[in-house]
Amino acid sequence: MTSETAASVVELTQDGDVLLVTINNPPVNALGAAVRQGLVATMEQADASATVKAVLIVGQGKAFIAGADIREFGKPPVAPFLPDVCNRIEACTKPVVAVIHGAALGGGLEIAMAAHYRLALPAAKLGLPEVSLGLIPGAGGTQRAPRLMGVKAATELMLSGSPLSAKAAQAAGLVDKLEEGNDPVAAGLAYARELLAQGAPLRRTSTDQICLADKAAAQAELDVLRADTAKKSRGLFSPLKIIDCVQAAVDLPFEQGLKFERAQFLACIDSPQRQGLIHAFFAEKETAKIPEAKAAAPRHFAKIAIIGGGTMGAGITVSALDAGLAVTMIERDAESIARGQANVEKVYNGLIAKGRMTEEAKAAVMARYTPSTSYDDIADVDLVIEAVFEDLEVKKAVFKELDRACKSGAVLATNTSYLDIDAIAAVTSRPQDVIGLHFFSPANIMKLLEIVVPSKVAADVVTTAFDLAKKMKKVPVRAGVCDGFIGNRILATYKQAADYLMEDGASPYEIDEAVRGFGFAMGPFQVTDLAGGDIGWATRKRRAATRDPKARYVEIADRICENGWFGQKTQRGFYLYPQGARVGQQDPEVLAIVDAERAKKGVTARKFTAEEIMRRYMAAMVNEGAKVVGEGIALRPLDVDVTFISGYGFPRHRGGPMKWADMQGLDKVLADIEAFAKEDALFWKPAPLLQKLVAEGKSFESLNK
């Protein structure tokens, strides 16, 4: 890295006795090697200059410094390393002021904390989000933040990964002063001169012990946070490392604390969890890269219609309203539309009750909502999302009405979980305008949006759907048409594997426990109870006619549904939910049904360890995932990973099922499938793509390029 490169991204100008240091590394002033080199050289220059009395660090454009340079991820590190840069800034013999506007995240905030004074503008966002990548702040952040903010505020900032506003940062002690306006240079120069006029001292964070002076109080706060984190972090590596580092800040001199932090940081770098989290981070950015984007720009849309005001329709409506769109909701009669509007308002009333929204803000949002019972009221909308009952004939009837009522060029979308979108498009005179938008419930909260691409759809309709996802802040994944698309198709397969395990000897409770132990929030039988057992039962009945008579079929769930036990909504399913409890209790009557079904089939129950359960569960998931990629239903393995992380509770730190398989070794996963195939060759049929990759010594990752 040449000094010219460093000079080009770290620009110096002297304004009287203040050296103005401008980080100019678009788009977000990331801390690449040239920026780090430039900052160290600047401190040397400031120390050596008789005319420089203070140093001001600002960011060019919209950010201060938004963190590490992701282009350097996975490459050999280049000196100077960030901890050394921060220490050199703090060691400067002239007062250093950081002026924070826009994002100061990760290493960017660590730079600011190493400065002697911090000024923030109203739009500043200050955060240490490293935990979301399986890391900890590694350039003194875990040592300086507690000294500036105290143990509780600093630890919560690092554990949440969420940024603070300028006002909150000042209240927490992270920022010394707030300045109105949006000119960081003018505000910074005025502040630097004010400090010089006062003869303000060099305030080095490393020697500031005020916030840690009461050791007993600091320790008490940390003990509570440690217990809470151990409970919540469910096997995650980096959160407890953050706690350990803050403990070092409480117990050790600064230099020793830095050494301890560095060792923990390097341990995180080597953790497989970091691999999984980094993969998830990049994969979510890649899913928007689709072939249609090269061919067509999105259509304009401002007004949209939602057909159906049930839970799903209301959730989609809230997502659209939150995206700033005008929404007309259609229901079949006055009573249904009143219920639909109430479902929408319930979400906003909940926010008001929590103090996260005002009545005025709700009124402003609801002004863009129009309830109606007539399709004629949506003649001018740009995009329609149908969210009615999951029945092909019902949906076809809706689309005939949409075809009649909607203007030419309107995008017509169906929110279906399984159904054939080509068949729905075929009832219209404009199949090129019909697409699938599979939202996940609750639609205003869940991030995943499966964008399902039928055979006749126009490219600009696909790009419009991705544009809608972006406006709604959803994570979009492109899927092809098949029964269940990406997510529900794979779900059906690993749920079958869970059913086989249950019939073969593992109780539903042991299976759920093993799946939770792997890192899922819930096991498959808990999910069934939450969603409603009757939904899966209806699907099984729909598919009964086309089911391969040679395929193994487990009837336990059907027996449970025949009793009217549909899960939480009926207070019992696989679990008991007395008095509407949210957490289920084990049910001896369900175990009796399981035993009776085993006896009927002549199955002798055998024991399964948690590891054996997960090997089958994951092998089924990965094998079906490989079939989905091999058939082109998913564009790349990473699309399967993002679907499962964003929509199905797959533990993010494992990177998704395909990344997990790569980390195990595809040869091992295939060997498991081939071993299980000796018991049931029809179900455990290896995916041709998996066999091909193993034969060629390649990984799923090789297909993400």
Half-sphere exposure of residue 400: CA atoms within 13 angstroms, side-chain side: 7
For residue 194, what are the contacts with CB-CB under 8 A and spacing of at least 6?
none
Strands 383-386 and 303-307: parallel
Q: Among candidates 634, 28, 630, 642, which has minimal Cα distance to 286?
A: 642
Single out the catalytic residue among 4, 72, 90, 110.
110
Q: Among candidates 377, 386, 251, which has minimal Cα distance to 306?
A: 386
Q: Measured between alpha carbons, how far is 543 from 555 in angstroms, rounded to an integer?
A: 14
Angle at 608 between CA 602 and CA 614, to 5 degrees: 120
For residue 162, what are the contacts with CB-CB under 8 A and spacing of at least 6?
127, 129
Catalytic (active site) residue 110? yes
Q: Are 261 and 248 in contact (CB under 8 A)?
A: yes
Q: Measured between alpha carbons, how far is 357 from 372 in angstroms, rounded to an integer?
A: 26
Residue matched to tokens 């990964």: 161
Rg of the chain taking only CA atoms, in angstroms: 29
For residue 469, what are the contacts with CB-CB under 8 A and spacing of at least 6?
288, 449, 451, 475, 476
Q: Measured between alpha carbons, how far is 111 from 535 in angstroms, rounded to an integer?
A: 53
Residue 699: in which H helix or E strand, if any? Answer: none
Q: Among candidates 545, 537, 511, which has minimal Cα distance to 525?
A: 511
How far, in whole angstroms, is CA 683 from its chain's centroid? 32
DSSP letters for 25-65: -TTTT---HHHHHHHHHHHHHHHH-SS--EEEEEESTT-SB
For residue 507, what are the contacts with CB-CB under 8 A and spacing of at least 6?
591, 594
Q: Are 492 and 535 in contact (CB under 8 A)?
A: no
Q: Measured between alpha carbons, how far is 701 from 55 in angstroms, rounded to an integer?
A: 46
Angle at 532 between CA 531 and CA 536, to 5 degrees: 95
Q: Are 540 and 558 in contact (CB under 8 A)?
A: yes
Strands 585-586 and 383-386: unpaired
Catalytic (active site) residue 597? no
Single out the catalytic residue among 4, 44, 72, 130.
130
Angle at 363 between CA 358 and CA 366, to 5 degrees: 125
Q: List the catalytic residues.
A: 110, 130
